[in-house]
Structure 1
């Protein structure tokens, strides 16, 4: 097991996939990190030297990921709700926000789009 930024990864896991498992890190940003540290895209986590692992951890600590990114998203949604915009009202009602149809198939948005209401 390899420890990167507070998470244990199996030694056979690809480094790129391990980086993509962090919230707010996608394929493009993980590819940039790999290129910056001269790591092959198909490299496994277990094959990395300890020096590179500490460099990756230091790089991730400077980025806005995990809870920080989730808090920013929640603050943006709260700002939209406080302003009373169309998107904010849709978030508050648990309806699709980006123009999807509401006649059918809104069950997923009702589950995922709910923001706790304050009275």
Structure 2
């Protein structure tokens, strides 16, 4: 088992999948980080050396991912609510925020609006 950013990953897991499991690390960001450390797409976590793991942890520590990013998203939504913008009011009511129709399709859009962002 290898620790990357305080998360325990099995050695057979791909590095790309391990990085993308963090909140805020999509395919593009993950590819940039892997290219920076000269890792190929099929590299496994067990193949990384101790120095590579330390450098990777240092790089991830400097990025805004996981709890820092979640907190920022919540603060942005709260700022929209406090200023009374249209988007803020839609967030507060649990309605679609990005212009979706509210007739038949409201269930899907409402579910998307409620995902882990309610205060």
Match for residue 42 of structure 1? 42
Structure 1 CA distance, aligned partners of 2:108 and 2:13? 31
Give me the TM-score of the superposition, normalised by structure 1.
0.91
Counting matched residue pairs gives 116
**How many angstroms apart in 2 are the aligned matches of 1:48 and 1:80?**
43
Could you state the TM-score of these two structures normalised by the residue count of structure 2? 0.91
Aligned to 1:99: 99
**Aligned-pair CA distance for 1:55:** 0.7
Q: Which runs of 5+ in 1 are unaligned?
A: none
Give the secondary structure class of the aligned counterpart of 2:3: strand
- What aligned pairs does 1:71-82 form with structure 2 within 5 A after superposition? 71-82=71-82
Distance 1:103 1:109 in 2: 11
- CA deviations over 1:45-104 (Å, ceiling 9, x no partner): 111111101110011011111000001000100111111111000000001101111112
Contact conserved, 1:19 with 1:25, CA < 8 A, in 2? Answer: yes
The CA distance in 2 between the partners of 1:22 and 1:36, in whole Å, is 18
1:51-66 equivalence runs, <5 A: 51-66=51-66
Structure 1 stretches of 4+ with a deviation exceeding 3 A read 108-112
Report the Cα distance in structure 2 between the residues aligned to 1:43 and 1:76, rounded to whole angstroms.
Answer: 36
1:6 is matched with 6
Instruction: Output the aligned Cα RMSD.
Output: 1.2
| Structure 2 partner of 1:29 | 29
Determine the C-alpha separation between the residues in 1 that align with 2:109 and 2:25: 23
Work out whether residues 94 and 109 of structure 1, in 8 Å CA contact, stay in contact via their aligned partners in 2: no
